[in-house]
Amino acid sequence: MGEASKISRYLYTVIVLFLIWLAITASLDVQELGFGLLLSLIVAAFTYEIFTTNGLANLHPKRIAYMIAYIPYFLWAMIMANLDVAYRVLHPKRPIRPGIVKCKTVLSSDVGKLALANSITLTPGTITLDVDEDEYFIHWIWVPDEALTESEEEHVKASSEGITVPFEKFLKVIFG
């Protein structure tokens, strides 16, 4: 890696750490800002090599826009999943059809795959059990008829369309 790439990675790490500092302290006091910046500079010096591989390229406006759009999208998906699980729990007949399904992802970066697995697990009704390369094994509270097919290809396609594909639209742009 060239020197510019190291500087880019270092600066990106400083920016992220400083933003975390701002979020935690919730203060714009000059002394706290100064200490937060100094601490970010020091911590970044030791951690930038493991913190990011893309550096400032992560701050591309398109990525940031998708990241901002992903937050309300994810929150909406979580609210809808909460309502769905509440319906299934409160319904007198308990309409659940649990099962473990296999999904495939188009994401290539490890961080993107991690974000997808966490998004799935944080959405009620689904839990990511295992990730193996581009395959996810997910416990789903309601496995639809389309995913109950004997053809593995159709099963994976139906499961992926119901679980991973909606999140991947955003995560593919954010994490590459």
For residue 110, the enclosing domain spans 61-175
Question: What pLDDT sits at residue 147?
Answer: 81
Distance (Å, rounded) from C-alpha 131 to C-alpha 133? 6
Are residues 162 and 82 part of one domain? yes
State pTM to two decimals.
0.84
Are residues 145 and 129 part of one domain? yes
Instruction: State the residue for tokens 């954010």.
Output: 174
In-domain check, residue 1 = no
Are residues 135 and 121 part of one domain? yes
In-domain check, residue 76 = yes
Are residues 88 and 23 part of one domain? no
Question: What pLDDT sits at residue 167?
Answer: 97
Of 34, 59, 84, the last residue of a domain is: 59
Are residues 104 and 154 part of one domain? yes
In-domain check, residue 158 = yes
For the chain, 176 residues long, give each residue's pLDDT as a single digit of tens: 445 589 999 999 999 999 999 999 999 999 999 999 999 999 999 999 998 888 898 899 999 999 999 999 999 999 999 999 999 999 999 899 999 999 999 999 999 999 999 999 999 999 999 999 999 999 999 998 888 888 889 989 999 999 999 999 999 999 97
Are residues 164 and 97 part of one domain? yes
In-domain check, residue 93 = yes
Are residues 81 and 16 part of one domain? no
In-domain check, residue 92 = yes
Question: What pLDDT sits at residue 77?
Answer: 96
Domain count for the chain:
2
Are residues 160 and 138 part of one domain? yes
Question: What pLDDT sits at residue 4?
Answer: 55
Are 144 and 158 in contact by the 8 Å Cβ rule? The answer is: yes
Are residues 163 and 88 part of one domain? yes
Are residues 150 and 126 part of one domain? yes
